[in-house]
Each structure stands twice: as structure tokens, then as C-alpha cells.
Amino acid sequence: NAGVIQTPRHKVTGKGQEATLWCEPISGHSAVFWYRQTIVQGLEFLTYFRNQAPIDDSGMPKERFSAQMPNQSHSTLKIQSTQPQDSAVYLCASREARGNTEVFFGKGTRLTVV
Amino acid sequence: AQKVTQTQTSISVMEKTTVTMDCVYETQDSSYFLFWYKQTASGEIVFLIRQDSYKKENATVGHYSLNFQKPKSSIGLIITATQIEDSAVYFCAMREAITGNTGKLIFGLGTTLQVQP
């Protein structure tokens, strides 16, 4: 079990460019989450998929951010027209279908917008 | 709305002592799950221990245990016989089981623990 895999681990983009972050959840996990971590805001929930279907995107900024889960083995988080305030560590997590189980986090992608 | 508050920003203790980290939460649900996670210096976030709201007995895993006080909406993490490698940031988190049941975890801002030799 390789755990939740996130690529790339580090990404530097210029202001206004697009950034795509990738996540491979643990095999067999049907729930996939994206979080953003900053010093000021801490760990913020962004969005959640269950069995590939979007369930809750209440934490996603309404503009420029989008997430997809085209198959059970990967999810992407896309940020269009990146801004310096998008700089953060983006974390993907997954868990089993049972609601009381813990989530397992990937090692994150550190996005820096210059 | 659900909220998790960790009032202790940082704690420093001597090795082999016991430390307690505080966490209080807010929820409208009668059923919920509480978690503690640890983030190491490398940034990796690791699950430590869980308490289900309907369970009266405090959870224990290794040298981690919980002090669950439901009437006070409090879930403290107790680490006994602390080791240098316990130095990390500790996050408390909650997931509601009923309202919306989206499964998302809401985190506190974390407590930095430094264990001194």
C-alpha cells in the first residue's frame, strides 16, 4: 500500500498561469477529499468526492478552482489564472466508505505562485 | 455550523513526561466522530486516534489516549511517556455523522508540541 500519492510534490507557477494537481487515492477507498493548508487558515476543506461523484464543494473558491474525479484511481484539482494568495500546500486524502473511518493524507503538493 | 478550537498554540515538555492537549468543538449533530492527527516536520499528516460520540469509554491507542467530556464538548489528547519523536503539530478534527453527512473533516488550527531531552 503506497498510500495516497500526490504529484507533483512542488510546483511553481507564474501569476496568471494554470496549475493542475494530481491525486491517486488508496486503492479501494471510495471517498476522496482535497484540503488546502496555509499558516494563517490552517487546514481548509475544499471538496469531496464519493464513488467519483462530487458530493460537497462548499470549500472551493467559486472562481478559478475546479476538481474532477474521472475514475476511481485519480482526482485532479485545477487552478486557473493562479494568484499569489493561492500559494499553499494542497492535500489530498481518502478513506473507506464507512463513515467512521479515518482519512489518510497524501504528502501534499506545495504550490508557489510567483 | 461545526467548529473545532485548539486554544494552545504551543507546548513544551520534558521527555518521558505526560502532556495533555486541549480541543473543544461545536456541532448541532447528536452523532459525530472526533479525530486527532499529527503532522511531522516533513509535513506528513498521520492519524493517531479516534473517538465516536456515542461511545462513553475513552479511546486508547499505544501511548495516546483521549479525555472525552461530551457535556463540555471537549476531546483532549493525552500523550504519556513522551519521546523526542513526538515533537510535531497535533490537530484535532471532527466529522458530523448526520447533518449533510458529507464526511468532511473540520480541523482545529493545531498545537505545536516540543519534547525536550
Which long-range contacts (C-beta less than 8 Å, at least 24 apart) are formed by A40-43?
Answer: A42/B107, A42/B108, A42/B109, A42/B110, A43/A91, A43/B91, A43/B107
Residue B110 has pLDDT above 90, yes or no: yes
**Each residue's pLDDT tens digit, A52-91:** 999 989 999 989 999 999 999 999 999 999 999 999 999 9
Nearest to A91 among B45, B102, B108 (CB): B45
Q: For position A54, what pLDDT does the model report?
A: 92
Percent of chain A with pLDDT over 90: 87
Query: % helix / strand / coil in chain B, to the nearest 5?
Result: 5, 50, 45
Q: How near does any CA of chain A get to the CA of B32, in Å? A: 8
Q: How near does any CA of chain A get to the CA of B82, in Å? A: 24
**Each residue's pLDDT tens digit, B97-106:** 765 556 788 9
Question: Using the beta-carbon criterion (under 8 Å), do A103 and B33 form an inter-chain contact?
Answer: no
